[in-house]
Structure 1
Amino acid sequence: MTMEAQIDWQIGKSLSDRMKYMLDNQLMCDVTLHVGSDKSTIKAHKYMLAIASPVFYRMFEGPLSEKGDVDIVDITPAHFNMMLHVDKDHACTVFQTAHDFHMTDLKEEALDFIFKNGSASLVSDDFLYLSGDCLKLILESDQLYCDETTIYQRMVQWAKLQCEEQSMPTFDENVRKTLGDLIYLIRFPIMTPKYFTNEVSSQEILTDKEKVGVYEHFNGKQTDIFISKHRKEHIHNEIYEEDAEQYGEDDVQYEEDAEQYGEDDVQYEEDAERW
């Protein structure tokens, strides 16, 4: 980089781009942070941190403000750097960090990214380490662009990981206990009858009453146990219903063409009676 380019780096850039340039190139940093258990050194700007989070504002301003270097032990250096650089490839980690540090704008930006890239975000490793509060904000939205089977599978995996971290067996009853009220944010009524029969009702995560409620919904009876409103993903797919082959199984016309699933797989009327 030439001296002229270094001097003129502000020209032609937005304010946010200039701030990012200063951070990336460690220009005029005025605070040294020791982050994580190994106290990795990260240099930053107090004003950037303060305008992003009330936690950092209180840390640097007021009678109890920190003097000199600052230790931040409850986050890894990698995650802290993601937060500083707003790396949207790690939206779930950015979302959790912004939630923990009350960074409203960054939190909303990360959440919006997760909504628009739901499938990619949910299958990321970072998703499994979200808190229950953050999961609630994601799952309760109609704007989440992701099919319900993926949501269910990832939530079960999340619950099993929570069980393992607490040295609990990953039995269905423990998975259900760990999910708590989050289970009611999974929209079982908009799954296909085939998937629900083969992958959900065969497990003991839902109660018998809840299973009956879903089967009744498949048969045209409304239920208030689970949300039955379609998310953005399903609405998008229905637009292309006439070319269902690009999505695999036809999720909409299952009643008219039940044979595509096999007689043994789509006997949800009989299953409803059984439950």
Structure 2
Amino acid sequence: MDCTKVNERFKQVVLPNNDTVVRRMMADTQITPPATVRENWQANKTTIRERNAYMFQNELMCDVHFLVGSKNCAQRVPAHKYVLATGSSVFYAMFYGELAENRSEIEIPDVEPQAFVTLLKYLYCDEIDLTADSVLSTLYASKKYIVPHLARACVCFLETSLSARNACIFLSQSRLFEEPELTQRCWEVIDAQAEEALKSDGFCDIDHTTLVSVLSRETLNAKESVIFEAASLWAEAECSRQDLKPTPDNKRKVLGKSLYLVRIPAMPIDDFANEVATSGLLTLEETTKIFLHFTARIKPQIDFCSKPRVGLKPRRVHRFQSSAYRSNQWRYRGRTDSIQFAVDKRIFIAGYGLYGSSSGGHDYKVQIELKRSGKILGQRHTQFFSDGSSNTFPVLFEHPLQIEPDAYYTASVILDGNELSYFGQEGLTEVSCCDVTFQFQCSTESTNGTGVQGGQIPEMIFYA
């Protein structure tokens, strides 16, 4: 496995032809360049960790050096065989095994210097210092030298920083590094936030195998036209990587049979006519057959699947045991109904179920909002029709929003329409749905009377 190639798509790294980078990284990790040793450091350093760090800092008793990075810009890093061997079975075999290295300088061309220093910092001091720029290369280094705790920390770092923006590229890397838990988390994000993930820059950087797995996914929550556009943009990027002009013929060539994984006949005919038929990616025969598939009584045989994707089934958690209405409430005059909630598992909020008019059918204008610690995560202005029943009416965000466990979020709505509405009562502070437990508490942002015991926002609509 070539880590330089693995990380190239995630972050371009430029290394100078001297020791500047290593010295700067040592400074960042509280390890400074060599210095003259005049103090009784053995007595002054009270822990093994401090003494190890001091030896590394000053190159005391170093018995091996590594030339880390590609040949033309390798960085020289000092180390101690004993320390490395106690933390890695690979280093133990390298220095003390039957085929032990006798050289004082060892070349490591496939590991980035910053990742190697992070590995050494862990082996010397039990410290883990990860950044978004270095975590993938550090994961590679920890896998190469079999340091499982550091590898697990890298995976946890990736999981906590996972979002629709980077889920596809993380998926590609997790498959490469054989990390099934991270792979599963990536799929959760990609399924629930498919349109955002497919439109991200990272999607165009995935390898062809990962592209096929995404386009094959039955549970993608995305319009088929969005999936087709994403495949087209990936093909354009792949043409660039292969030094090909991004013509329709070349894009079709790099896509190969993966184009047939886009369920073109399952999209609305308007989307097909305006986006797919004019793209040049289909042959004239394919375009004609698909038009006939949409319009003709006798359907021609086509190579594309016409069955819509299943997608994810939205779940609803209801926090009230009953609903009611009275002639003097619930009224809407531009005030805010708000409630706080927390969950015990990572989920994706799609929107809210809201009560409507208690006096016949009415249209409502509504603003829905989701915050965490005062920061707006999502907001949408829309409208819905209430038929006058006590049912709840779904109002959705443009895209599902990721919710982390064990943190409180604030759900808010502002309604404009018929003032008299149904409202919930006998509210619950804790409700479980689909193995997810919701906890509710009152919000100081609520200015229209909604709280735990009663009011508006009876339902959370989510993907688990």
- Quick check: 238-247 or 203-212, which moved more? 238-247
- Alignment match of 1:49 (pick from 73, 84, 89): 84
Q: Note if 1:212 corresponds to 2:308.
A: yes
Corresponding residue of 1:28? 61
CA distance in structure 2 between the partners assigned to 1:184 and 1:132 by the alignment: 16
Q: Counterpart of 2:156 in 1: which secondary structure?
A: helix
Counterpart-to-counterpart distance in 1, 2:142 and 2:108: 15
Contact 1:49 1:56 in 2 (8 A): yes
Give the TM-score normalised by structure 2.
Answer: 0.38
* Aligned-partner SS, 1:248: strand
Relative to structure 1, the CA distance from residue 19 to residue 59 in structure 2 (aligned partners, 3 Å threshold; closer, same or farther) is same
Contact 1:96 1:130 in 2 (8 A): no
Shift of 1:111: 1.2
Structure 2 partner of 1:87: 129
Q: Pick one of 143, 149, 156 that aligns with 1:112.
A: 156
Matched with 2:370 is 244
* 1:10 is aligned to 2:45: yes
State which of 99, 113, 119 in structure 2 corresponds to 1:77.
Answer: 113
Which amino acid letter does the alignment assign opposite residue 97 of structure 2? Answer: G
* Structure 1 alignment gaps of length 5 or more: 163-174, 221-230, 262-275
Superposed counterparts of 1:1-275, under 5 Å = 6-11=41-46, 13=47, 15-36=48-69, 37-38=71-72, 39-69=74-104, 70-85=106-121, 86-89=128-131, 90-119=134-163, 122=166, 130=173, 132-134=175-177, 136-137=179-180, 138-141=182-185, 148-149=193-194, 152=198, 153=200, 156-159=203-206, 162=207, 175=208, 177-181=209-213, 188-189=220-221, 196=223, 199-200=226-227, 202-204=229-231, 206-208=261-263, 209=305, 212-215=308-311, 217=312, 233-234=346-347, 243-244=369-370, 246-249=376-379, 256-257=394-395
DSSP-derived class of the 1:34 partner: strand
Instruction: Work out whether residues 128 and 157 of structure 1, in 8 Å CA contact, stay in contact via their aligned partners in 2.
Output: no
Give the distance between the partners of 1:256 and 1:240, measured in 2 at CA. 6
Label 1:5 to 1:96 Cα distance change in 2 as closer, same or farther (>3 A): same
Tell me if structure 2 keeps the 8 A contact 1:83–1:97: yes
**Any idea what SS the aligned residue of 1:118 has?**
coil
Alpha carbons 1:96, 1:131 under 8 Å: kept: no
Amino acid of the residue matched to residue 179 of structure 1?
Answer: L
Relative to the length of structure 1, the TM-score reads: 0.59
Give the Å deviation of 1:234: 2.6
Q: CA RMSD in A?
A: 4.6
Q: Distance in 1 between matches of 2:214 and 2:145?
A: 23
Which structure has the larger Rg over C-alpha atoms? 2
Is the Cα–Cα contact under 8 Å of residues 31 and 43 in structure 1 kept in the other structure? yes
Amino acid at match of 1:188: L
| Count of aligned pairs | 222
* Displacement after TM superposition at 1:60 (Å): 0.7
8 Å CA contact 1:144, 1:233 repeated in 2: no
The structure with the largest helix share of the pair is 1
**Matched-pair contact (CA < 8 Å) for 1:58–1:65:** yes
Question: How far is 1:9 from its partner?
Answer: 4.3
